[in-house]
């Protein structure tokens, strides 16, 4: 929320615009956002680390699979939904897949590895992990891709991940940051397998 608050303080009108863009808010109806067709979203994962191979292709695919499971509504822990919210449970038609083409049309596996000591710093106006000029990786056109940045948190605030809320900032920052230390499924002590789903929901304006 820190980055959102920073943006809203500098752009007061943005708060009103953001509220108007939320499904179900004044001037909108939930029906405007419904579809019976499968919507597939290409994903690019920018891995920015001293050793970007530390996060394997299998680690990335696990997260994409988990994201799809959560958004489909068939995740096993959905049985833990409190009774008062079960009627609101949905099975979305959104599916995520690693990109097969880069913005220039070149073949890709959807994983962009950058060897760098730069990490994410949510306290800065511009998060350096999202700029190649600062040692990070530039966004791919967010109107065509979901951008995920994986790296280390350098803010000193133990950030697991964060997303830019809709209409709340620079389009070059549009996407989700995930702390590289929590995306490994074999480490059951860490909540990394759900962090991406929660942050992507925020990016989509769901929560």
Length of the chain: 207
Tell me, what's the pLDDT at 167? 72
Report the candidate in 54, 163, 172 with the shortest Cα–Cα distance to residue 113. 54
Q: How many alpha carbons lie under 13 Å from residue 91 in its C-beta half-sphere?
A: 5
Please name the residues in contact with 135: beta carbons below 8 A apart, sequence gap of 6 or more. 48, 114, 116, 117, 118, 128
Given pLDDT bands bounded at 50, 70 and 90, which one contains residue 81?
A: low
Q: Residue 79 pLDDT more than 80?
A: no
Which residue did the predictor score with more confidence, 190 or 109? Answer: 109
Q: Which two tokens stand for residue 28?
A: 């909108």
User: Averaged over 126-147, what is the pLDDT?
Assistant: 96
Tell me, what's the pLDDT at 191? 44
Tell me, what's the pLDDT at 154? 95
Tell me, what's the pLDDT at 197? 47
CATH topology for 38-78+87-203 is Collagenase (Catalytic Domain) (3.40.390)
């Amino acid at each position: 929320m820190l980055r959102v608050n920073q943006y809203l303080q500098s752009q007061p009108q943005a708060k009103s615009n953001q509220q108007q863009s939320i499904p179900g808010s004044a001037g909108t109806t939930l029906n405007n956002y419904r579809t019976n067709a499968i919507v597939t979203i290409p994903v690019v994962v920018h891995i920015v680390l001293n050793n970007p191979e530390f996060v394997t292709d299998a680690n990335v695919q696990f997260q994409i699979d988990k994201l799809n499971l959560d958004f489909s509504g068939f995740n096993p822990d959905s049985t833990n939904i409190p009774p008062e919210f079960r009627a609101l449970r949905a099975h979305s038609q959104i599916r995520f897949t690693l990109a097969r083409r880069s913005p220039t049309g070149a073949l890709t596996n959807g994983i962009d590895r950058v060897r760098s000591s730069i990490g994410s710093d949510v306290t800065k106006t511009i998060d350096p992990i999202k700029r190649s000029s600062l040692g990070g990786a530039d966004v791919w056109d967010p109107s065509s891709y979901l951008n995920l940045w994986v790296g280390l948190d350098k803010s000193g605030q133990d950030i697991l991940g964060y997303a830019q809320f809709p209409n709340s900032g620079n389009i070059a920052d549009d996407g989700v940051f995930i702390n590289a230390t929590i995306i490994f499924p074999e480490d059951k002590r860490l909540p990394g397998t759900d962090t991406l789903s929660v942050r992507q929901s925020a990016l989509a304006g769901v929560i």
